[in-house]
Structure 1
Amino acid sequence: MNPLIDNFVSSKRIAVIGMSRSGKKFGNMAAKELKTKGYEIFPIHPEAQEIEGMNCFPNLKSLSGKVDGVWISIPPRNVSSVLEEAALIGLKNIWLQQGAWSNEVQQTIDQLNLSVVSKKCILMYAPPVKSVHKFHRTIVGIFGKL
């Protein structure tokens, strides 16, 4: 497997950017599943105090030193500022969920000299991989993409 992916999924304290108060975002579902897989989840939300029973933090700076990585599932127009903040606090394990990447985001990654997993679904790699995610991972392994 990719060493960036290995490093990320072996981290157990993950900041999650992309959960909503309504509970209807992919970030909410992914955070719940990661939690069942043994990850300690730290939701980041600039306005919410709590989402789905988990205390929220306003930004990554408020977690400096408390997390091993950040998983990002927000629109690309909002990602560059998150990457800048991650670089500022020295956070090295960064995962951009499918849909969070853009050419502008890639420019920020390059400017900050970050190593980032991008355009991949975390649920296809965070062990144990089950159900449809296991099938998708097999397809990607055979064909290189879904």
Structure 2
Amino acid sequence: MASNYETFFTLSSYAVVGRSQAKPFPILSYRGLKAMGKTVYAVDPSANFIDGDVAYPGLAQLPGPVEGLIVEVPKAETRDWIAAAAAAGIRDVWVHMAHDTPEAIALAAEKGINLRTGTCAVMYLNPGLSYHSIHKLIMKMVGKY
């Protein structure tokens, strides 16, 4: 049976949120979803383009609805993105490891969001040998995949 983390990638449309001005955009997650043939939008309030694609400043500006959201922003912004996801009707959210906060987790629970956190989405997206595949192996061994 697939884990809650694995089922996240059965959705058909996603937004990936970053803030390039503060830290590199989560380009591996963005490219990985595109490589899977998913509809994916870059959301970055501090950039006009990501990887040659239009970057939207927020979820309300997306050209269509999305089912899943990956958030990798400074921790101080995470709760606000959970609130934006709830307002946009997004029920599946992945907050990159070490970017969650107790307030964001509580808000996600309150709003009925299926929140994935505590690990890296890229280890589910990148096949082959890499740092992320080693991380994947370790997580499987400890039962957290």
- TM-score normalized with structure 1 length: 0.82
Counterparts in 2 of 1:99-114, with a 5 A limit?
Answer: 99-114=98-113
Which residue matches 1:87?
A: 86
1:98-145 C-alpha deviation (Å, 9 max, x unpaired): 12112222222233232101111111223x632122332222111236
Which amino acid in structure 2 is aligned with residue 102 of structure 1? T
Letter in 2 for 1:134: S
Q: Retained in 1: the 8 A contact 2:19–2:46?
A: no
Answer yes or no: is the 8 Å Cα contact 1:19–1:28 preserved in 2. Answer: no
* Contact 1:87–1:112, Cα closer than 8 Å, also in 2: yes
**Is 1:131 the equivalent of 2:129?**
yes
Structure 2 distance, partners of 1:125, 1:45, is 23
Residue 20 of structure 2 corresponds to 20
| Contact 1:19–1:43 (Cα < 8 Å) also in 2 | no
- Percent identical residues: 24
CA RMSD across the alignment: 2.5
Deviates more, 1:90-99 or 1:102-111: 102-111
CA distance in 2, matches of 1:36, 1:19: 22
Whole-Å separation in 1 of the counterparts to 2:90 and 2:16: 13
- C-alpha separation in 2, matches of 1:99 and 1:37: 25
Give ranges in structure 2 of 5+ residues lacking alignment. Answer: none
Partner Cα distance (2:102, 2:41) in 1: 28
Give the structure 2 partner of residue 48 of structure 1.
47
TM-score, L = length of structure 2: 0.82
Q: Which amino acid aligns with 2:127?
A: V
For structure 1, the residue ranges without an aligned partner over 5 or more in a row are none
Equivalent AA in structure 2 for residue 131 of structure 1: L
Within 1, Cα distance between the matches of 2:49 and 2:98?
A: 25
- Aligned residue identity for 2:67: D
Taking the aligned partners of 1:53 and 1:98, their CA distance within structure 2 comes to 26
